Structure 1
Amino acid sequence: MWKAPGFIPTLVAVAAAFGSWSLLLPVIPLAALDAGHDTAMAGASTGVFMAATVATQIFTPAALRRLGYNPVMVFSAFMLGVPALGHLLGLEAWNLLLFSALRGVGFGALTVAESALIAELVPVRFLGKATGMLGVFIGVSQMIGLPLGLAVADAAGFGPVYVIAAGTALIAAVMCLRIPRIKAAPKVEPSAYEYPEERATAQVATWKLVLVPALAVTSLSMSFGAVSSFLPAAVLDLDPATGAVIGGLMLSITGGSSMVWRYVAGMIADRRGAPGTTMIPGQVVGFLGVALMALVIANEWSVWWLVVAGILFGGGFGMVQNEALLVMFFRLPRSKVSEASAVWNIFYDAGTGLGSFVLGAVAAQAAYSGAFGVGAILVVGGILGTLADRWVGAHRIAERDNTRARLRQVPVARRAVAGARRVRRVAARPVELERLITRRAPRQGWKPPVEEPSVSPEEGPDTPTR
């Protein structure tokens, strides 16, 4: 894995880019509130950022085919952090929303490109561990950047945070220059594939192959939207004394658990040679985590149970993240690697934003326990979808390039099938089999080959030949 060309520069570049993003994620809304905007405008800064992210992710696969990974990632790393310097000009509404949207463009292109690039650079037998290691680098940068941005803002103001974030993004852009200059594989017509199973996969609609793993990610990312928004506050409300100490660390605890178990899931997938082994266990563990959060808050149990719940939820979410991405890579042909990355990121980011909004509305009516309870129900829906997909996948007949279905529709092929059955019946009787071949071969324009002994210049006419 480590010897793959460009793998290490990619990890360093992604870690720096996500570090820049993590520095600004909690700081921009806080700066908006400090500038006199209401909570709606502060939330709009994040909403505009995510809207630009999702919109950019839709078009990134085409850019990767036309321009290549190197220029797209350099551009995205630059756009992710450097526009933050625009906030030094002021925090009027247009300024706040414009530069947030520009940063969202960079984030959208980067998230699609980095996952697809890993699949291009690393051999398939190491892909699970490689995507897990990508999650480790992202997780470490987030664990450092999220509290660091708030600490710098508290000590020196918001301006230094903007400058540090821009400088970190420039480091990422420089590291992206060391990425191999390759382009995403072009779209290939199904007839160009060498093997029938590849042609069958290429002809099946993409959404049919990726919908279930995408929904598995979304069901947990919606719950993550509630966890990231309300878990620290819930810890503080449950136990003001202890919550003041561990409330700010809850997201780091959840993120650290996610990082570790995402890598473990990748290792298991590589050992088994195929993804999906830890998908349902990860969903179940994630359900237990978010359900435990609802029970602890509703029954006012010890705040330390929320720490346990955060570890469970983060671990399950990490496993599902890696498994869903690997399943998409595994199901789609190589020419659609960038589409797989785009779908995964779109469902992840859209689920996080939608979860924050929908479960936030639930929390306003039914408190934090109600929000986490609904989140647990969403995860159950994802589990049922995965179970149904496994059962159907084990029993269904492929819609295209299915030999049995085609033979039933072609009269000549039906006669060929009957002849094949007759061959199998007489295969155990060599005399009848030889008579059958001798009688039918001339009608098919085929004659049995006649072996003639060949004599090399070094061999004499009496030398045995093979």
Structure 2
Amino acid sequence: MWKAPGLIPTLVAVLAAFGGWSLLLPVIPQAILDDGRGAGLAGAYTGVFMAATVLTQTQTPRMLRRFGYGQTMFVSGLLLGLPTFLHVFGTDAALVLGIAVIRGMGFGALTVAESALIAELVPLKFLGKASGALGVAVGVAQLTCLPLGLAIAHWTGTYQWVYVLGGVISLVGSAMALLIPKLKAAAKTPTAKATEAKTSTATTSTASKNAEGTAPETAEKPATELPTGDPGPAENVSTWRLVAVPALAMGTTAMGFGGISAFLAPAAREIDLVAGAIVAGAALSVMGGAQMVFRYIAGAWADRKGKAGTLIIGALAAGVVGLVFMALVVYAGWSAWWLLGAAAFYGAGFGMVQNEALLLMFARLPRERTAEASAYWNMAFDSGTGTGSFALGLVAGVALQPYPAVFAVAAGLMSIGLVAAILDHIVGAHRVAERHNTRATLRKLGGAVVKRKPVSETRPETDGRN
């Protein structure tokens, strides 16, 4: 896996993108508040950033087909990094929100391009581990940079050095894009051309590959059962049907993450005024570490089992347990240190859901839609995080006991994803594109063979001569 050309630069670019984002995530709102600009602007900064991120993610697959991965990531890194230096000029609303829009666009394009590029670079049989390695890079960036930004501001007595460091880190990701092989996302083929691909052509293609010494496509099937047929559109298959369940699982889980990110610290302080801040920081670190480790474990498991999605039900259940436990600890007023256990459960589930949802989208969409799969996953993650923070904030504002209510409602939201995953498993058919998908083609071939009459039954009667 590690010998795949461009994999290391891609992971470094991921580390840089999420490092630059994480470094400034808590710093900008705090700087706005310190300047007396008000909580409204502080919240608007993050909201505008995430809105620009999600909107850009909807268009990133087109950019990847038009300009390729390297150019898209290079420009996106510049958009994420260069505007960061402008924060040194103050916290006026127009300046801050303008920077948020530009940086959000860069971050949105980067997140889609990087996760899609992983699927393009590595052999399919290693895709689970490669996706897990992507999660490790994200986790390391968050674990180190989330607390680092505020720490630097505290040590130096100014936010200026944080802005400079955040910009430099983001630009490292832009530089890494220059080391990535020149690849473009697979172009969509016309429907008419796609329909000309016949079953016999697929069989001949497989045979010719064997003759050239290349393993047949069925042998090259990855652990995640990714489609390996010729690129082509998934005619007559609604995209929402293919990605609905993994997207719902990712989105509802991310809603819980949004609630924890916003309300774990005040909840811990409510339980223990003295140690609450320390406990909250430790719990967030435990959650991040568990998320990183279990995302990689889920990827390795998928490669070993030869199928994506085998852990998603258990992962969602673990996340729900963590959120329910969190609500109970806060409601009952137990020791705040119990929050570490709850955070570990949720983090483990969150990490596995991330990997399983992404691999399921890769598996259910045709090869030509790798970029779209990455976009759908990132949109589910980011919109879920933003929506969760907003919705759970409303819950906290009206509930008699705000923090237990926040975590309980978050568990309920995540349970929706769990129920959907269970129903999807019971209904059975892992929904995949029916056209230009090796698995679907082989299934149809098997059905055709079973239905065909024996040759002796279809041959006309003869007079016994050869």
TM-score normalised according to structure 2 size: 0.85
Paired residue type of 2:461: R
Kindly provide the CA deviation profile for residues 415-449 of structure 1, in whole angstroms up to 9, marking residues without a partner as x: x999x45x3xxx8xxxxx3x852439xxxxxx99x
| SS of 1:394 mapped into structure 2 | coil
Kindly provide the CA deviation profile for residues 199-226 of structure 1, in whole angstroms up to 9, marking residues without a partner as x: 7955412111001100000111001110
Name 1:247's counterpart in structure 2.
280
Change (3 A) 1:67 1:192: farther
CA distance in 2 between partners of 1:192 and 1:79 (Å): 42
Change (3 A) 1:436 1:383: closer
Question: What is the Cα deviation at residue 390 of structure 1?
Answer: 1.9
Kindly provide the CA deviation profile for residues 80-116 of structure 1, in whole angstroms up to 9, marking residues without a partner as x: 1220111112211100100011110110000100010
Q: CA RMSD in A?
A: 2.7
| SS of 1:322 mapped into structure 2 | helix
Name 1:339's counterpart in structure 2.
372
1:302 pairs with one of 335, 360, 369? 335
Matched, 1:328 2:361: yes
Name 1:377's counterpart in structure 2.
412
CA distance in 2 between partners of 1:202 and 1:139 (Å): 37
Q: Is the 8 A contact 2:5 2:181 kept in 1?
A: yes
Question: What is the Cα deviation at residue 248 of structure 1?
Answer: 2.1
Question: What is the Cα deviation at residue 397 of structure 1?
Answer: 12
Q: Is the 8 A contact 2:234 2:433 kept in 1?
A: no
Instruction: Provide structure 2 residue ranges, at least 5 long, that are not aligned to the other structure.
Output: 203-226
Name 1:453's counterpart in structure 2.
none
Change (3 A) 1:396 1:226: closer
CA distance in 2 between partners of 1:64 and 1:182 (Å): 9
Name 2:63's counterpart in structure 1.
63
CA distance in 2 between partners of 1:159 and 1:395 (Å): 51
Change (3 A) 1:170 1:299: same
| SS of 2:274 mapped into structure 1 | helix
Give aligned-pair identity as a percent: 51
Paired residue type of 1:359: L
Matched, 1:389 2:399: no
Q: Is the 8 A contact 2:14 2:137 kept in 1?
A: yes
Name 1:184's counterpart in structure 2.
185
2:459 pairs with one of 422, 437, 440? 437
CA distance in 2 between partners of 1:179 and 1:292 (Å): 44
Instruction: Provide structure 1 residue ranges, at least 5 long, that are not aligned to the other structure.
Output: 407-413, 428-432, 441-446, 449-466
Name 2:161's counterpart in structure 1.
160
Structure 1 window deviating more from structure 2 (111-120 vs 182-191): it is 182-191
Name 1:45's counterpart in structure 2.
45
Q: Is the 8 A contact 2:70 2:177 kept in 1?
A: yes
Q: Which has the larger radius of gyration?
A: 1
Name 2:388's counterpart in structure 1.
355
Paired residue type of 1:377: G
Question: What is the Cα deviation at residue 252 of structure 1?
Answer: 1.8
Paired residue type of 2:60: T
CA distance in 2 between partners of 1:397 and 1:247 (Å): 42
Name 1:461's counterpart in structure 2.
none
CA distance in 2 between partners of 1:137 and 1:346 (Å): 19
CA distance in 1 between partners of 2:234 and 2:151 (Å): 50
| SS of 1:439 mapped into structure 2 | coil
1:1-40 correspondence runs (5 A): 1-40=1-40
